[in-house]
Structure 1
Amino acid sequence: MRLFLLPISTRRSLIYCEKLHEKAPKDRSYYDKLTIKANETWSAWEKDEKAIGNWKKKVTFYGNHALKRIPYEEWGLKTIPALTAKRRQDIIDGKANYEVLFPGKYLPQASVPGLLEKLAKERQNMHRSKLMWSVIIMPFTAPFMLIPVIPNLPFFYVLYRAWSHWKALGGSRHLEFLLKHNLPTSSPSAALDKVYAAGLMYPTRALSRVAPEPTEQQAQEVASVVHQQTNNETEDVMVLQRWNGKLIAEQFDLPDMEVEIERAVEQVENGIKTKEKLMEEKLEQERAVGKGGERAKDALPDHILERIHKKAEDVAEEGKEKSTEKAKETTKM
């Protein structure tokens, strides 16, 4: 099983567990089937425009805003599966293989065990307490069942929060058990170093896609600038961009990872600095490998920049065509 320890900033990191292969329908447990059904229902509500007062779309709109407020640490722990009896025994017998990947240039290997231990233990009491309170509150949502048409939304929200805390608690216990048995094995990833460097060198995802892959030296230079910006580790500096989550997810063929990274980056950005300060740091990072103060994108050959402009024009044209088609459909109705 692969774990990813992804620094969002120089002080805050996201843990993400690679999703296990999905079970065949006949092998799914009742819990698996219930989870899949809930996800399908939520997705259907997001698209449903026929409900009275459009209440389903409104519920999912405000619900998604509420979900964004859940701390990214909780989402990360929820990706770690529960510690079943079989997994526990495999770990004790030395049969289990767990590996944690991280960008070595942006996260010292010596700090990995301490970070994992902090992630495993720091929030356990909080999740345990909030799980208990969610269960206690559930009966008090019963009166909302009397509202016609609309389901008992307060009950389902409290139920979801109870499930979320239970999942995060299970993930943290699993991680704690691994650490007690000297697992997982920490492995610095050169691929992660390069994706991180590209995200800091260039201002957009499109540019980083078509630009040459950062060299070892360039990755080191960018990492050095980030270290300088911390002012001897006294300041927190962003090392991940929101748009870079997609590139990391694609690098490891883990599409679900993208939304976890984007959520974590948004929360950390909102928490540490003003937008002006973040922009100043980003510009300094982009100039790390340039000459005479130029940004990395300014040194790219013209044919690469032309590809970017052409792609942007194609996307814009495609957007216009879709808008026209949608307008025609509306007119027909």
Structure 2
Amino acid sequence: MRARLVVFPIRGRNWCFSRSIDPSLTDSQFAHTPSTFKDLCKNISSNGKPLNANAQLLVDFISNKMNRAWIGLEKAPEGTIKSKIHGLGLRLLARVKPSEIFLKSISKEVSQVEITYPSSLNARHVRRRLRHIALRGTVIHRNYFYGSVSLLPLTTAFTVLPLPNIPFFWILFRTYSHWRALQVCTMFLYIATC
């Protein structure tokens, strides 16, 4: 699959990197993901695929469930605990760096990247900036990924509380986010060297 990145300078050394949205991909993104745990177990046991493909299927299943739960929190009536959890989640998401959101937005099926930029920019300079983001992101997201994974066992201790385990789900979400950003950074490094 081919991705299109739009790059333009904002002010000085600050640039904006954005992915153009293909509306046909948003509906088909979770088309192959099973909807129930029973279907997931059936797919994993009967498909005969390697461990990496089964792990990716499990990650897609979990992320699909988390997306549906987030949409459920978003639709909660005002003043309920679900609404307050959604507000807390929005405040936490506001602290996530835009570069991570950009990296995470790129689909895992991408094999080629088309970069669109103004003619006033040098093509080599744009490519170098993208490579810099990928190199820096690889180091940052790998460290944060390992840190988030190491915090997951600690946050499971909060399951004894009668409230939703918000720290666990936040750390789980951050682990997934850093893992996806790390995958895209390594893909950009490979594309930038070709």
For the superposition of Structure 1 and Structure 2, which TM-score range results when normalised by the shorter chain? Answer: 0.7 to 0.9
Contact 1:142 1:155 in 2 (8 A): yes
Partners of 1:10 and 1:155 lie apart in 2 by 40
* 2:172 maps to 1:128: no
TM-score, with structure 1 as normaliser: 0.45
Aligned to 2:28: 23
Partners of 1:24 and 1:70 lie apart in 2 by 23
* 2:36 maps to 1:36: no
**Change over 3 Å in CA distance of 1:167–1:26 after alignment to 2:** closer
* 2:170 maps to 1:157: yes
Q: Which has the higher strand share?
A: 2
Contact 1:19 1:79 in 2 (8 A): no
Contact 1:16 1:79 in 2 (8 A): no
Partners of 1:5 and 1:126 lie apart in 2 by 22
Partners of 1:24 and 1:142 lie apart in 2 by 30
**Change over 3 Å in CA distance of 1:134–1:73 after alignment to 2:** same
Aligned to 1:173: 186
RMSD: 2.4
* 2:107 maps to 1:81: yes
Contact 1:82 1:174 in 2 (8 A): no
Offset, 1:69: 1.0
Partners of 1:142 and 1:32 lie apart in 2 by 21
Partners of 2:10 and 2:59 lie apart in 1 by 32
**Change over 3 Å in CA distance of 1:180–1:139 after alignment to 2:** same
Partners of 2:68 and 2:113 lie apart in 1 by 31
Q: Deviations over 1:224-282 (max 9, x none)?
A: xxxxxxxxxxxxxxxxxxxxxxxxxxxxxxxxxxxxxxxxxxxxxxxxxxxxxxxxxxx
Gaps of 5+ in 1: 88-96, 182-333
Which one of 130, 152, 155 corresponds to residue 116 of structure 1?
Answer: 130
Partners of 2:171 and 2:60 lie apart in 1 by 20
Contact 1:117 1:176 in 2 (8 A): yes
Aligned to 1:7: 9
Partners of 1:142 and 1:4 lie apart in 2 by 40
One-letter amino acid of the counterpart of residue 32, structure 2: D
Which one of 44, 49, 52 corresponds to residue 77 of structure 2?
Answer: 49
> Greater relative contact order: 1 or 2 (C-alpha under 8 angstroms, separation 6 or more)?
2
Q: Deviations over 1:285-316 (max 9, x none)?
A: xxxxxxxxxxxxxxxxxxxxxxxxxxxxxxxx
One-letter amino acid of the counterpart of residue 64, structure 1: L
Which one of 70, 75, 99 corresponds to residue 114 of structure 2?
Answer: 99
Gaps of 5+ in 2: 34-56
Partners of 1:24 and 1:65 lie apart in 2 by 27
Contact 1:138 1:159 in 2 (8 A): yes
**Change over 3 Å in CA distance of 1:7–1:24 after alignment to 2:** closer
Q: Deviations over 1:33-89 (max 9, x none)?
A: 432332221122122128xx72111111121111111111111111223378xx4xx
**Change over 3 Å in CA distance of 1:43–1:6 after alignment to 2:** farther
Largest Rg, 1 or 2: 1
Aligned to 2:40: none
TM-score, with structure 2 as normaliser: 0.75
Offset, 1:155: 0.5
Aligned residues: 166
State percent identity of aligned pairs. 28
